[in-house]
Chain A
Amino acid sequence: MANAIEIDGVTKIFRLYSEKYTSLKERVIHAGKNPYQEFYALRDVTFNIEEGSTVGLLGHNGSGKSTLLKTMAGILQPTKGEIRIKGRVSAMLEIGAGFHQELTGRDNIFLSATLLGLPVKEVEGRFDEIVEFSELGKFIDNQVKHYSSGMYARLGFAVAVNVDPDVLLVDEVLAVGDENFQRKCIERIKLFQREGRTIVFVSHSPDLVRTVCQSAYVLDHGSLIGRGEPSEAIAALRDSLGRGGVGGSLIGDESSTAQIDPTALVVEQAVTVTALKCFSGVGQENDHISPHDSLNVHVAYHTQRPIGDVSLTIQFLSPQGETIFAGNTKDLDLPGYDIDGDGVFELYFESLPLLDGVYGIVAMIIDASGTLVSWIEEKAAFQVMNPSKVSGLVALTFRVTSSS
C-alpha cells in the first residue's frame, strides 16, 4: 500500500524569547542579545501514513501534536527533515479561517475556497453543494458579521470539506458548533473514510479518536512514544501520564521549558480511578439486565491527598464502541465533589432503554480546571438480554392507533 504522507526525520525548534524585541529601536539597544531558549517542539519524528487510513494524533498540551499537524499543513516549516504528502491537502485548523467580516457568505465561499487552493471554476461547480451543507439558505447573501457562531462554523466546515481533499488534516474543530453540527461533521468524515481519503485527526479526546480512527500515534514532548490501535495508543498516552510526561503548555511559558513543574505532577497523579462495577437492580454484580431495568454503577477511586471541586463524567459505549451517552456532573449543574483517600461514586440509573448487547462504561474524573486526571474503561461493563422480539440498540416503547 502506498503512503499518503511520509514524515521523515522532522524536527521543529521554537525560539522562546524571554523578552521579545520587535521594534528597531529595541533591537538596536539590545543589539546581539535577543535572549531566547531553544525549545524542541518536535524531535526527529518519522512515520508514514498509508493512503486511505484515518489516523489520530494524541498527546497532552505541548506534546507537539498540533505543531506536527501545522507542519504537515505547510503552515510551519520544519527546522530539519521533510514531509511529503501526495495529493491535495486541506487543513481544518480553525473553522472559517480567512473569512472577512464585511463580505457576504457568497463572497467568503470564494475567498476561503481559493485560499485552500481550489480553482474558481471548481468553486462555482461546488457552490450549491457548499450552500446546502451549510444550511444557510437565503442568508448566504448576508454579511458574515451578522451570522451566529453556529452559522459561521457551518459555512467554514462546508467550504473545507468541499475542497475535495485527498488528505484532510483536522484539529479539534469538531469541538465547535451544536451537537447536530458535530454529528454532521463526523458523518462527513466517515464518508471521507469510505471514499478512501486519508485523514489525520488531532484530538484531546480519546473518545473521538476511538470512534473515528483506525490507528493512532502518541506524542510526548515532541517525540513519538507509541502507536497502534486507538485503544493501545490511548493506553500509551495514559502510561506517559503516569510517568509524569506532562508539563502543561510549554510553548510561551518560559519557566517550564525544560523541567516539569513538580506540583503539577502531583496533581496529575493524585487521583486514580481504581475500579468500576455495575450492579443490577437486585444487587448482583455483573449480572445481565433486561431492557428498562435499573443499574447501579460504582466508581472507586484513590487519592494521595485531598482534592476539591472535581467532577465525574460517565460515558456509555455501544457494543461497537460508539458513545451512546456521555454526561458530566457539572454540566448537570451538580456541585463539585471534594474527595480524599479511598472512596466510591455511586450512580443510579433508573431505567436503561437498551436492547441486546454487551455495553461498555467509561468513568472519568475531571479536576477543577477541566483537565481529565484519571479514567477507567470497562469494555464489557454490563450485558442486556432482551426477552422480547424487538431488535436494535434502543428500547423504544410505542402505541399504535389505526384509523381508516
Chain B
Amino acid sequence: MIEQFSSHDEKPDGVAIRMGREKLHVVSPDVGIGQRLINLWEYRPLLLSLIRKELSVKYKNSVLGFVWSMLNPALTLIIYYVVFQLVLGSGIPQFAIFLLCGLVVWNFFQAALMGATTSVVGNAGIVKKVSFPREVLPLASVGSALVFFFLQSIVLIIALVIARDAPAISFLPLLLVAIVALVILTSAIAIFLSALNVYYRDTQHLMEIVLMAWFWATPIVYPYHLVATLLGRHNILWAFFVNPMTAIILTFQRTLYAQISPLGANHLPVPILPANSELWYAGQLGIVVAVSVVLFFLALRVFGRMEGNFAEEL
C-alpha cells in the first residue's frame, strides 16, 4: 500500500549549502577487496587508538605493568630450561638463547591469534553501534601483540649480550623478511578467526588446543635437525615445511642463535639447524611470504562475506 504525499522541497531562506567533500560513501552488499583496503587505510588512526587502548588497559591495575610482558618469556624460559636441559638433557649448547629465539616469535603468534579470535565478539558493543572497517579489530590485536614482541625481543637481546654471542650478520636482512612474513601470516589468520568466532563460538576454545599442537609441531623447544632426520628417513621432510612457522622460526634461530652444529658437552658436534646457504633460507621465506599474502586476501574476502551479518549475529 503506497501512499504518496506531495513532497515539499523548499527549505527556509538563508540555509547555506555545504560545498565540500565529494567523497561518496556506498553501502551495498558487495564491496570489493580494493575498496576494503582503502577503507582500512583510512582508518589507520583507529587502529593506532585501539592498539594504544589494548596496551594501556592490559596492565592497568597491575603493580609491575609492562614488566610482566618481559617477565613472562623469562619465566617460561626457566621452566623449559629446567625440564628440557636439566631433567631430560637435550644437550643443546646455550639452550636459553636457542629457546628464546623461537619463544619470542611464538608468543607473538599465539597472543595475536588468541586476542584476535575474540576481538569482534568482545567488541560487540561498538560493532552494533558504529560503522568502521571491522578488520581493524583483529588487526589491533596483532598490533598490540607486535608491541609486546618488540618488548620481549629486548629480553632476547639482553641474553645475547650476556652470552657474548654475535648474530650471523649475513642473515640479518632475512630476519626482517621473516618478521614481515610473520606479521602478514598472523594478520591473515587473525582476520579469518575473528570472523569465524562470531558464527562458531567454539573457535576460541578450539584454538587453544590447535595452538598447542602447532607449538609442538614447530622446532622451538627441540632442534630442527632432530625431527628433520626422522622425517627425511621417510622422505616426507616437506611435511615439516607445510607449517609456515617452521621457516620463520628457523630464520630467527639461524640469525640470532647462529650456530649450525655447535660442540656439545662431550666435545662432539650437536647438529641443530639446516646447514644451508642464505639463498635456501630466502627461498623458504619467499614461499611463506607468497602464501601469506594469498591467505591475507583470502581472509579479507571471507571476512567481507561474513561481516554483513555481524551486527545481527552478535
Contacts and interface: CB of A to CB of B under 8 A. Distances in A.
Interface of A: 1, 14-15, 22-25, 27, 50-53, 70-89, 91, 93-94, 97-98, 100, 102-103, 107, 110-111, 114-120, 123, 166, 193-197, 214-215, 223-229, 232-233, 236, 239
B25 A89 contact: yes
A333 B82 CA distance: 74
A324 to B, nearest CB: 21
Contacts of A15: 312
B21 interface: yes
B153 to A, nearest CB: 27
Contacts of A117: 42-43, 46, 132
Interface string B12-23: 101111101111
A326 to B, nearest CB: 25
Contacts of A215: 7-8
Contact of A52 (B18, B56, B60, B308): B18
A86 B26 CA distance: 9
Highest count of chain B CB atoms <10 Å: which of A1, A53, A100, A116: A100
24 contacts: A1-B9, A1-B17, A51-B17, A51-B18, A52-B17, A52-B18, A71-B27, A74-B27, A75-B128, A84-B26, A84-B27, A86-B25, A87-B18, A87-B22, A97-B125, A102-B60, A107-B56, A115-B126, A117-B132, A119-B45, A123-B45, A196-B16, A214-B12, A225-B3
Given A98-B130, A225-B3, A228-B8, 16 more contacts: A25-B202, A52-B11, A74-B27, A83-B27, A86-B24, A87-B25, A91-B130, A97-B125, A111-B53, A115-B126, A117-B46, A117-B132, A166-B21, A196-B15, A223-B2, A227-B7
**Across chains A and B, which 8 residue pairs bring their CB atoms closest together, nearest first?**
A228-B5, A74-B131, A77-B308, A97-B129, A82-B28, A24-B202, A114-B46, A83-B27
B277 interface: no
A85 B27 contact: yes
A123 B201 CA distance: 36
B28 A78 contact: yes
Contacts of A25: 202
Interface string B27-48: 1110000000000001101101
Contacts of B24: 84-86
B131 A53 contact: no
A196 B13 CA distance: 11
A166 B20 contact: yes
A223 B1 CA distance: 8
Nearest to B202: A24
Nearest to A51: B17
Highest count of chain B CB atoms <10 Å: which of A91, A98, A223: A98
B5 A115 contact: no
Nearest to A10: B27
A337 to B, nearest CB: 34
Given A22-B199, A110-B49, A225-B3, A98 B129 contact: yes
B63 interface: no
B53 A107 contact: yes
Given A52-B15, A84-B24, A194-B16, A97 B46 contact: no
B53 A75 contact: no
Interface in B101-135: 125-132
Contact of A86 (B15, B22, B131): B22
B28 A77 contact: yes
Given A114-B45, A236-B3, A75 B21 contact: no
Contacts of B311: 70, 75-76
Contact of B20 (A73, A85, A87, A91): A87
Highest count of chain B CB atoms <10 Å: which of A80, A86, A116: A86
A10 to B, nearest CB: 9
A401 B7 CA distance: 55
A75 B48 contact: no
Contacts of B199: 22
Interface of B: 1-9, 11-12, 14-18, 20-29, 42-43, 45-46, 48-50, 52-53, 56-57, 60, 125-132, 199-202, 206, 307-309, 311-312
Nearest to A88: B21
A263 B8 CA distance: 38
A100 B87 CA distance: 46
A254 to B, nearest CB: 15
A111 B123 CA distance: 13
Highest count of chain B CB atoms <10 Å: which of A15, A74, A119: A74
A78 B8 contact: no
Contact of A82 (B27, B48, B50): B27
Nearest to A78: B29
Contacts of B23: 86-88
Contacts of A115: 46, 49, 126, 130, 132
Contacts of A227: 4-5, 7
A27 B200 contact: yes
Highest count of chain A CB atoms <10 Å: which of B5, B22, B48: B5
Given A70-B311, A77-B27, A226-B5, A89 B130 contact: no
A195 B49 contact: no
B3 A85 contact: no
A41 B287 CA distance: 47
A89 B131 contact: yes
A86 B27 CA distance: 11
Nearest to A214: B11
Contacts of A224: 2
A98 B5 contact: no
A267 B27 CA distance: 39
A73 B311 CA distance: 12
A338 to B, nearest CB: 36
B243 to A, nearest CB: 24
Contacts of B3: 225-226, 236, 239
Contacts of B4: 226-227
Highest count of chain A CB atoms <10 Å: which of B1, B12, B18: B18
B131 to A, nearest CB: 4
A223 B2 CA distance: 8
B28 A118 contact: no
B53 A97 contact: no
A83 B25 CA distance: 8
A14 B312 CA distance: 8
Given A111-B50, A236-B3, A75 B29 contact: no
